[in-house]
Structure formats: structure tokens, C-alpha cells
Chains A and B, each alone.
Chain A
Amino acid sequence: MDPVARDRRRALALAVPALAVFAAFWLLPMARLVQVGASGPDGIAAYFAVVTNANYFRSLASTVALSAGVSVVTLALSLITGIFLQRNRFSGRDVLISLMTLPLAFPGVVVGFLVILLVGRQGLAGDVTTRLFDEKVVLAYGMAGLFIGYLYFSIPRVILTIMASVEKLDPALEEAARSLGASTWQVLRDVILPALTPAIISSGAICFATSMGAFGTAFTLATQINVLPLTIYNEFTNYANFSMAASLSIVLGIITWAALAAARSLAGAGVAAAG
């Protein structure tokens, strides 16, 4: 009878189709995944295999180390570049920014391929170093190649976030600091970086989550890499070890979700673990 409540109920009803699709094709399958994860010979202990089993633990550890390393380096490079681009106008700046953000849409496989072109067996870096030092540098097929690949798709994403935050900085705060005698370095350390901290933490967390869950790049670069998504893929496809694949992917999913939840609570708007 209450017209306002009726309106609200009608508005909520409009979300039902989306929720129905979500429930049928994500919620239910995920429940099955959790169940399968616990249905192997080890039962529920399979969920702890990632710490109890040496191989899986190594896989997890290298994935975490890789993702953390990529996040740190990406943040450092993006901060320098992002602040510079936002604060300096020069002709061609807009084109430069567009170019730098193109890799956002590249799937992991393409990034892997580009890494091979750059530092693979027939890569550009190999050519250059052969000419200069008579020794071919090939990085693509190990962790170094993966690191370069992850850097490649992380930098555009983080730069955009940093630039957006730099744009929102209140110039009055920096002017106040300078009027009180702070040097450029002190202004950076005491005013700019603290103001950017939420953006830094949130984009760092997003970078970490994306790297943890990335599959395509590692798949293309294959051979000697041992990261968790590849391990899961191998368990499922090559060993048909469904329960282990399921339990490992649930653990991985929880880690990425937690990192993103932390990022969201620090920034307000969340992003995806894509790529």
C-alpha cells in the first residue's frame, strides 16, 4: 500500500535477472568447485596442500614473490612517469598517454608473444646484445621473461590510476608547504606521496591480484616457469587431478579476492583481476 516502499521493491526486482544468471552460472558452479576440492583422496586437507606439499608451496611462493616484485617495480616506475606526465604539458603528450595505455586490452597471450619478440630466442634484445657484446641475451622463457611480461600489462593500469589521483591533488596544500619553506623533495615526501598513498596501495593491491591470477602470459612463455595458475592448469588438463585443481584454484581465488577487497576498502572503486 505504501507507494514509496512499492517503488523500492520494484526497483530491486529489476536486479533479479542479473542475479539469477549470476547464481546459476557462478554461485552454483563455485559451490560445486568447493565440493570437488574436498572430494579427493585427502579430503578437506587438500585445501591446505598449498602449504603442506612442497611442490605446491614452491609454486605459491614463487607466484607471490613474482607478483609482489612486479607490484613494487610497477609502482616505482608508474609514480615517476605518472607524476611527470600529469604535471608537464608538452606537444604529443596526449598521444604518448594513449600509446602507453593501449596494452590495457591485450590478453596475456599477446603480451607473452611480445615478450618473446623483445627478449626471446630471436628477440630484439638478443640481436642488440649480440652485436654489442657478442653474447645473446635470452630472458623470455624463465621467471625474468614472466616478470617483464607482467610489468608490461601492469604499468598502463597503474599509471592511469596514479595520474587520476595526481590530478585530484589540491595544489593549495603544496603551496602552503612551500610557503612554509619546504624544498621540492620535502614537498614530495610530506605532501604529495602521503596524499597519493590510498591510490598507491589500492593500485598496488590490484597489480598484485592481477599478477597472481594471470594465466595467458605464463602459458605462452611455458617451459621452466612454475606459477600457481599454470600448476592448476596442469593438474586439471594433464593429470586429470580435478580435486587438487579445484582446491588450488579456490585458494588462489581467496588470495586474489582478499587483495582486491583490501584495495577497494582503501580506494572506493574496485577493478578486476584481468589478464
Chain B
Amino acid sequence: MRKLLRYWLQLAVTLAVCAFLVVPVVLSILAGITENFFVGLKSGFTLRWVIEVWNLYSATIWRSIGIALACLAATLILGVPAAYALARAQSRFTRWIEELLTLPIAVPGLATALALILLYGGWRDFRASWLFILVGHVLFTLPFMVRSVLAVMMAVDLKTLEEAAASLGASFRQRFLSVVLPNVRPGIVAGSLMVVTLSMGEFNLTWMLHTPLTKTLPVGLADSYASMRLELGSAYTLIFLVMIVPLLVSLQWAAARAERRGA
């Protein structure tokens, strides 16, 4: 009897936690497509808020997507070789390099943003361009790409595979293209999804670094919460969710695949 009671209690807590997490999201979605939030569902469904948000913020949304893709390109070019270095170099430096690259995520984004502004803020062109934001995003997402790729490299014992390829006569370039890259693909995919998801949702850094001409989606969200009616803020949030949820689901799937590869 006690066992059953314990089971139901655990289930109750679990469902309560789940409700706590899910209900606000549902509320937000509903608010974004309801005619009038205060009247409630009775006022009917409409897409006018969503359309209005799109008219107001489409430039911001496209900019966010652009920055996320640029961030992805940068982290691939910088991060995959760095992960390879950490996996193969096997020297005292590798631990330090890994620690260093993780620092930008160990300190609050606010601090990193302040630091960037204080050093580079005087450089007008840089400060006012979207590249300034891109730099912040790259600093923040690079460790995730490196970690994701490095994990797969270690799991498939890249060192031995490369030694085998070298014993068969393959040069460094041949090995990298035909053995290294194909075998770390799950890590690259998982890392890419992670980078794009993080960049789309990044706020702490971006809020400090942005200018009225270089707003991103989360910055726009903060604006709309502060200055606009609830339905608009909800509609904007809905658009954000529609973009981010598929990314998240793909990320979960890709991460599971990356883990299985190593087995």
C-alpha cells in the first residue's frame, strides 16, 4: 500500500512540474492568437497579431537568422580544427586551451559584453555593425561546437583510426577528408544545431551590444514586452517558439545519434 502511495505522490510531483513548465507556454501561444486576451478565448481566434508583429519586426527576425548562420559558419571554421587539435595534440597545452575557450561561458554574458564595449566601443564602424553582435555570439557558442565535436572524436578513438590510415600511406590532408570528417559528422551536426539554437536565443550579450539598427529577435521580444500590448508580445513569442522548437527537437535527435555513434 505504501508503495502505491509513493508512486502516486511521485507522479503528482512530476505532473505538477510538467504543468508548471508547459502551461505558461500554452498560455502564451493562446494569447498570441486570441482576439483579446482579457476577454479570453470567447473573443475568437485571429492571426492579426501575428501579422502585425511580422510587419513590425520582420527585418529583426531576418537579421537574427543571418547572424545565427554566420555564427555557424564561424564556429565551424574555428571550432572543428580546434577540436581536432585538442583530440590529437596530447600535450600539456590542450587542457589549458580547453579551459580558456570555455571562459566566455563561465562568466555572465553581461561581463563579456561590457568588456567588448569598453575596448572596441570607440571603433565606430565596428560598434554599429552586426559584426559586433556576431563576435559576441561566436565567443559564446564556440565552446559548444568544440565540445560536441571533441566528444565524438574521443568516442570513436580518432587517434587509432588516423594511425591506421597513416600506416596505409594516407597524407594528413587525405586522412582529414576521408577518415576524420566523415566519422565526426554526428558531432558536427549536433554542434551546429546547438550553435544556431543558442545564437537565435541569445539575449544577455546582445542586449548590451545592440544598437537601434542592429536588433535581434530576443531584443525585439524585450521591446515588445515592455512597450506593447500583451497580444503582440505573445504573438512575437509564438513566432519565436515556432522557429526554435523544431531546432530543439532536431538537436535532441542529433545529440542522441552522436552518443550512439560512439558505442
Q: When the two chains form their complex, are residues A29 and B118 in contact, meaning their CB atoms are under 8 A apart?
A: yes
Q: Give the residues from 1 to 35 in chain A that come closer than 8 angstroms, CB to CB, to chain B.
A: 7-8, 10-15, 17-19, 21-22, 25-26, 28-30, 32-33
Q: Give the residues from 95 to 123 in chain A that come closer than 8 angstroms, CB to CB, to chain B.
A: 96, 98-110, 112-118, 122
Q: A10-B172, A33-B114, A81-B13 are in contact. Are A15 and B106 (CB under 8 A)?
A: no
Q: When the two chains form their complex, are residues A250 and B111 in contact, meaning their CB atoms are under 8 A apart?
A: yes
Which are the 10 A-B pairs with shortest beta-carbon distances?
A213-B108, A29-B115, A253-B107, A15-B85, A114-B24, A14-B81, A272-B105, A18-B82, A249-B111, A33-B115
Q: At the interface, yes or no: B244 with Cβ under 8 Å from chain A?
A: yes
- Give the interface SS of chain A, mostly helix, strand, loop or mixed: helix
Contacts of A100 in B (CB 8 A): 17-18, 21-22
Contacts of B79 in A (CB 8 A): 18
A83 to B222, CA, bound (A): 36
Question: Contact size class for A?
Answer: 35 or more
Q: At the interface, yes or no: B53 with Cβ under 8 Å from chain A?
A: no
A216 to B112, CA, bound (A): 15
B residues near A (Cβ < 8 Å) are 3, 6-7, 10-11, 13-14, 17-18, 20-25, 27-28, 31, 37-38, 77-79, 81-82, 84-86, 88-91, 93, 97, 100-112, 114-116, 118-120, 135, 138-140, 142-144, 146-147, 172, 197-198, 200-204, 207-208, 218, 221-222, 225-226, 230, 233-234, 237, 240, 244-245, 247-249, 252
- Give the interface SS of chain B, mostly helix, strand, loop or mixed: helix
A117 to B20, CA, bound (A): 12
Which of A42-50, A172-180, A192-200, A229-237 lines the interface with chain B? A229-237
A77 to B12, CA, bound (A): 11
Q: When the two chains form their complex, are residues A29 and B105 in contact, meaning their CB atoms are under 8 A apart?
A: no
B240 to chain A, nearest CB (A): 7
B181 to chain A, nearest CB (A): 13
Name B203's contact: one of A29, A108, A233, A249 (CB within 8 Å): A108
Q: At the interface, yes or no: A186 with Cβ under 8 Å from chain B?
A: no
A42 to chain B, nearest CB (A): 18
Q: At the interface, yes or no: A152 with Cβ under 8 Å from chain B?
A: yes
Q: When the two chains form their complex, are residues A28 and B119 in contact, meaning their CB atoms are under 8 A apart?
A: yes
Q: When the two chains form their complex, are residues B24 and A102 in contact, meaning their CB atoms are under 8 A apart?
A: no
